[in-house]
Structures are given as C-alpha cells and as structure tokens.
Amino acid sequence: MTAMLEVDNVSRRFGGLMAVDSVTTTVGERELVGLIGPNGAGKTTLFNLISGFTPVSSGEIRYRGEKISGLKPSVIASKGISRTFQNLRVFPNMTVFDNVSVGAVGAIGQTPWQAIVGGSNRAQQISERSWEALEKVQLTRYANDLAANLAYGKRKYLEIARALAMNPDLLILDEPAAGLNDSETAELASFIKDLHSSGITVMLVEHDMGLVMSICERIVVLASGKKIADAEPSVVRQNREVLEAYLGVDE
Amino acid sequence: MSKDFIQSAGLKLAILAVLFVALPLLLVSLDKGYIYQVVMLALIFSLLAVSLQLVTGIAGLLHLGHAAFYGVGAYIAALAGADYGIGFTLGLPLAGLGAAAIAFVVALPTMRLVSIYFAVATLGIGQMIFLVLQNWVEVTKGPNGVSLFSGIDLFGYTVDSELGIYFVVATIVCISIWVIHRLSHSYYGNALRSLREDDQCADAMGINTVRLKIESFMISSFFAGIAGALWAYTTGYISPVDFDFAESILILAMVVVGGLGSIPGAIIGALLLILLPEALRGVGDMRNIIVGFVLFFSILFLPKGLFGEVPSLNFIRRQFGSAWQDNPDKQKVGWK
C-alpha cells in the first residue's frame, strides 16, 4: 500500500538556519501519527510546509501520489488536508456556527450567483455539514454565540470543528493540548482517538508526552530540524538519541 | 414555521409599502422638487453605503476611493446619453460594467496589499480617476461637467416626471440592495467575513482569498457605477467635484457610523448623513458643526455603529427569514 502523505527529503532554510533538514517520512491511510521534539525542532515548520503556508527549500511533498509542495494553501486544503493552528485562530467576530461554516463553504463552495438566486442545495449542504461538525464537538448549544465569547477550551474544539467541516481525509493538529489542564487533555485524547477510529487520518504535533504516548500509533521525533526517530511509542521511549535530545540525558 | 414566514413576509411588504406607496404619496402631496432631490439622494447614497459595506465592512478591505467608481458610472451614463444617444436602458448596465471593469484592472495588482497599504492604494486610484475626470477635457468636458437633459427611457417609454423618476430610482436601488443583501447574508458572505477576520486562516480552509477579494471589489464597484448612473439621470448635471475624495470619506463615514459589517446599518448611516444636514438647513452655517458633533458622539458612544454587525445579523436571521433552522434544536443559525 502506498502512503497517503509522503514527505520526501524536505528541507526548509530560514537565512542561515535549517529549520527542517532533509526530513523523509510518511503517513499511511488511517494512521494516527505524532510529531514531537524539543522547542525549535521544526515541528510547526514541517506542518506549515505540508499545508503550503511555507514553501519548501528543497525536496518534495506528495499527497496520494500527487505533488502538493508548491501549491497554495487553499488548493492543498481542497484536496482533503485540513489543519488547526498552534496559537488558536478562530474568527472572533463571527458566531460559532458561522466559524464552522467557513470550513464547509471552503470545501463545498458557493459562487456569488448561487448566493444571490439560491436554488441550488449548496446552502443546505453547508448548513448540514456545519451542524454535524458542531455536534461532533458538542458545541451546538453555543451555535449563535460569538467565538470571542467562548471559553478557551471550547475554542480549541471550535477550531477542530471548523477543520472537520471540510470533511478532511487528513487532519493536522498543531499542539491541540496546549493550555489545557490534565482532565481537559485526557478528554481531548479520547476525542482524537474517536475521530481517528471514525476513519480520519490524524497527524499531531504535541508537547504533552503523555497524550502522544497514549494515543499515537507511531511517533516521529525531530531535533534541530533533523528526524532522529520514527517508530512505535514503546520503541521511541527506549531510543537513546531521543532520550538525550528530548527527555534529558540523565533519565 | 408559517408564523416565521408571515412575520418575515410582513416586514418585507412593509418596506416595499413605505418605498412605493407611502413615500410617493407624501412626495406628491408636498409637491416640491427640492424634496424629491433629497429623497433620491438618500436612496442613491444608501446604495453607495451598502456597496461599500460589502468590501470594507464585510470583506475588511479599507477602501478610500469608492466615490471614484460612482463617478465612473455617472460619467459613462451621462456621456453615453449626451454624446452617443445611448439611453438609460443600456446606459445603466454599461455604467455598472464599466466601473466593475476598472475595478478589475485596479484589483489585480492591489489585492496582494494588506490593511493600510491597500487603503493608500485605493486612495491613489480614487485620486487618479478624479484627475482624469477633471482634466481629460476632450472626453469628460473637464471641470465644466456634463449636462444630460434626456429623461429616463424605459423600453420605448420616456419617464421624465419627478414621480416617475423616483419610482425608477427606488426600484433599481431596491433590487441592488437586495442583491447585496443576498450576497452578504449567505455562506459566500461568511467566506468574505473570514477574510476580514484572518485571511491566512481562511486560506487554510480552502477559501480562494485573492479571488474573493477581487470579486467583492468588482461587485461593490458595479453597484457604485449603477448609483452613479442614477445620480446622472436624476440631477441632469454632473461635474468632477461630485466624486472627489470628500465624497469617498462621506460614504465611509456612513458605513462606520451605521456599523461596520451591517447592511441595515449602512442604510441607517446613509439616511442620517443625508437627511440630517437637510433637516438642519434652518440652522444656517451651524448645521455642519451639529452634524460633526452627531458623528463624533455616535462613534464615541456606539463604536460598533448605530446598528452593529452582531444585532444586524441576528435581526436578518430572525426577522427576515434568512436563517437555516432544519436542525434538531430548531436554532436559527447560518443561512438558507
């Protein structure tokens, strides 16, 4: 079976700094992969390269065999890859429902003409899909509230719902547990597991080792832009290089 | 469900009844040319404010040259009528399309600019168009302006009574505002709002941000052009000063005072800033100071506008029958 996402010898240079240095890895269909590494290891940069926010300096990224590096973020998104952001970027002055609908309208599309005359069932489809996404994260109660007025933890779920409304095949979560307490993190972990078992391939960057170790099937470890490990959690836990770079030598 | 339908239909009928029955009756009974001019000015500026709202309040692009596109429409209609014998039926769409075409040419290079840089670019474009109207004497007749004496021809009939022209202007303004209402109160409108909120993030949602910005800028300019043609036909005389920077700022003030992002707010802002100075004519020179005070305090106490975006969207969803409510909770959310 070919991999869903192939990162092929990809590098990204910012001035003199190699933020991502010749990284090669894959994500298989229906996998749940974690990406970890110390601060500044290049995790978010790698996500930005995959989602098209930052162009690659060299190498190639392929999605289902098709080259996606060099495409615009909106084009990559429309192929079925959706992402969330590390620093929580909801649309603050829009309602919760309207936030989610942007993901749905991005995927389903509505032309000005369809908006004016109605007629086509686009609006109905977008409404239904947005509602379903809100149901998945249990935010339907807040549908008409402004996103800015939601509690921090709920905004995290809102951002995930907006990504889900795009009906993605590959969901990329950038530090979903950042800023959450232990019980919220545990809740999020089981939510991500459910998403994964519903058929979505998930790739997540995370600082919270407990979360990554408990739910991921495979873990990719970056340090200073280089990949230093790529294996099951139990193997990564034993890897000397990982322990030195990330968990501290004295362990 | 049916109660909602009756309520929303009732509201729409009430608006039409005021525009097409009550107001004309009032105008006929007063029978003053001056009042007609004020009412039509209020209608035309409502359309200008609503069209600017689409681009500035909703898509979030600060546009400082809207009056220039209004001018392009007015000049196309007036020159087509006065010099080429092209009447209103053809002149009106030409005015809109001409303004939209110029907007397209302008949009291609400027849409990559953000925030204040875009504002300065539109300021420059507005100024360029104004100077062309002012100085290209062979075509635009320069500062002397253009006179247009023909009435409004509609499929062979000529409308030249004040009441007739009022009906034509009111109908076209109504249809135009309805179109912009449909666009902004839809998922397409939500996509535009997402550009204003965070266009990078919208990009990650699969939204083609550049295309959407160009489209909204062109649609907005199209309706500014339509408003220009209506102005040319109602006054019968236009000159470049009608379309200078101060007019762009006036339209922007209407949008901000009414409430950024709110279509009904833009109409309220336009009515306020056209009708208030006229109502204060008796006060003499003090009136502009009073208008200034009203603007200042309205922004100070209501920074989100007289009818801000949040209450306005709720109003349109609940009272105007635009919401989707096929969900299990029967919540009025999203758009139909």
Q: What was the pLDDT predicted at A119? A: 75
Condensed to tens digits (0 to 9), the pLDDT of residues A37-49 reads 888 889 999 999 9
**Domains of chain B (ranges, CATH numbers):** 36-319 (1.10.3470)
Q: CA Rg, chain B, in Å?
A: 20
DSSP single-letter state for residue A20: E
Condensed to tens digits (0 to 9), the pLDDT of residues B236-262 reads 999 999 999 999 999 999 999 999 999
ipTM of this predicted complex?
0.92
SS (H, E, C) chain B: CHHHHHHHHHHHHHHHHHHHHHHHHHHHHHCCHHHHHHHHHHHHHHHHHHHHHHHHHHCCCCCCCHHHHHHHHHHHHHHHHHHHCCCHHHHHHHHHHHHHHHHHHHHHHHCCCCHHHHHHHHHHHHHHHHHHHHHCHHHHCHHHCEECCCCEEECCEEECCHHHHHHHHHHHHHHHHHHHHHHHCCHHHHHHHHHHHHHHHHHHCCCCHHHHHHHHHHHHHHHHHHHHHHHHHHHCEECHHHHCHHHHHHHHHHHHHHCCCCHHHHHHHHHHHHHHHHHCHHHCCHHHHHHHHHHHHHHHHCCCCCCCHHHHHHHHHHHCCCCECCCCCCCCECCC
Helix or strand or coil: residue A15?
coil
CA A209 centroid distance within chain = 17
Condensed to tens digits (0 to 9), the pLDDT of residues B273-318 reads 999 988 888 887 888 888 888 888 988 999 999 999 999 999 999 8
What are phi and psi for residue B87, nearest 5 degrees? -80, -170
Q: In what order do the strands lie in the sheet with A218-223?
A: A81-83, A170-174, A201-205, A32-36, A218-223, A226-231
Provide CATH 3.40.50.300 ranges for chain A: 1-80+168-251
Condensed to tens digits (0 to 9), the pLDDT of residues A201-245 reads 999 998 777 888 889 999 999 988 999 999 999 888 888 888 887
Virtual CA dihedral for B243, B246, B247, B251, nearest 10 degrees?
150
Q: What was the pLDDT predicted at B2? A: 66
Q: What was the pLDDT predicted at A249? A: 55
Nearest CA in chain B to A91: B197
Q: How far apart are CA B60 and CA B47, in angstroms?
A: 18
Residue contacts between A and B (CB atoms, under 8 Å): 135
Q: What was the pLDDT predicted at A31? A: 94
Q: How far apart are CA A36 and CA A33, in angstroms?
A: 10
Q: Do A115 and B326 touch (CB under 8 A)?
A: no
Q: How many angstroms separate the CA of residue A182 from the nearest CA in chain B?
A: 28
Q: In 3D, which of B95, B42, B43 has the Cα closest to residue B225? A: B95
Q: How far apart are CA B79 and CA B290, in angstroms?
A: 37
Q: Is A121 near chain B, with CB under 8 Å?
A: no
CATH class in words for A1-80+168-251:
alpha beta
From chain B, the residues in CB contact with A73 under 8 A are 200, 203-204
Q: How many angstroms separate the CA of residue A50 from the nearest CA in chain B?
A: 11
From chain A, the residues in CB contact with B111 under 8 A are none
DSSP single-letter state for residue A121: S
DSSP single-letter state for residue A72: -
Task: Please check the confidence at residue A33 and state whether its pLDDT lies above 50.
Answer: yes
From chain A, the residues in CB contact with B204 under 8 A are 51, 53, 73-74, 77, 82-83, 85
Q: How far apart are CA B100 and CA B117, in angstroms?
A: 21
Pairing assessment for the beta strands A170-174 and A81-83 based on DSSP bridges: parallel
Non-local (6+) Cβ contacts of A210 within 8 A are A185
Q: What was the pLDDT predicted at A247? A: 60
Condensed to tens digits (0 to 9), the pLDDT of residues A66-122 reads 999 999 999 999 999 999 998 889 999 999 999 999 999 999 999 999 999 987 799
Pairing assessment for the beta strands A201-205 and A170-174 based on DSSP bridges: parallel
Q: How far apart are CA B92 and CA A6, in angstroms?
A: 55
CB B132 within 8 A of CB B105: no
CB A7 within 8 A of CB A69: no
The dihedral sign for the CA sequence B46, B51, B57, B62: negative
Q: How far apart are CA A71 and CA A76, in angstroms?
A: 6
Q: Do A91 and B201 touch (CB under 8 A)?
A: yes
Q: What was the pLDDT predicted at A251? A: 42
Task: Please check the confidence at residue A1 and state whether its pLDDT lies above 60.
Answer: no
Non-local (6+) Cβ contacts of A156 within 8 A are A88, A176, A179, A180, A188
Q: How far apart are CA A104 and CA A163, in angstroms?
A: 9
Q: Do B187 and A111 touch (CB under 8 A)?
A: no
From chain B, the residues in CB contact with A93 under 8 A are 193, 196-197, 261, 309-310
Q: How many angstroms separate the CA of residue B197 from the nearest CA in chain A?
A: 5
Q: Which of A85, A127, A166 sits opposite B206 (nearest CB)?
A: A166
Condensed to tens digits (0 to 9), the pLDDT of residues A47-63 reads 999 999 999 999 999 99
Q: CA Rg, chain A, in Å?
A: 19
Q: In 3D, which of A214, A206, A207, A164 has the Cα closest to residue A190? A: A214
DSSP single-letter state for residue A118: -
Q: Do A98 and B190 touch (CB under 8 A)?
A: yes
**What residue has token string 């979360």?**
A211
Instruction: Please name every residue paired with A230 in a beta bridge, in sequence order, or none if there are none.
Output: A220
**Distances, alpha carbon B201 to alpha carbons A248, B57, B60, B190, B205, in Å:** 36, 19, 14, 13, 7
Predicted confidence pLDDT, tens digits, chain B (336 residues): 567 778 788 889 999 999 999 999 999 998 788 899 999 999 999 999 999 999 999 999 999 999 999 999 999 999 999 888 888 999 999 999 999 999 999 999 888 887 789 999 999 999 999 999 999 998 899 888 999 887 888 877 888 888 999 999 999 999 999 999 999 999 999 999 999 999 999 999 999 999 999 999 999 999 999 999 999 999 999 999 999 999 999 999 999 999 999 999 999 999 999 999 888 888 878 888 888 888 889 889 999 999 999 999 999 998 888 899 999 999 999 998
Interface residue of B178, B184, B187, B219 to substitute, partner A, most A CBs within 10 Å: B187
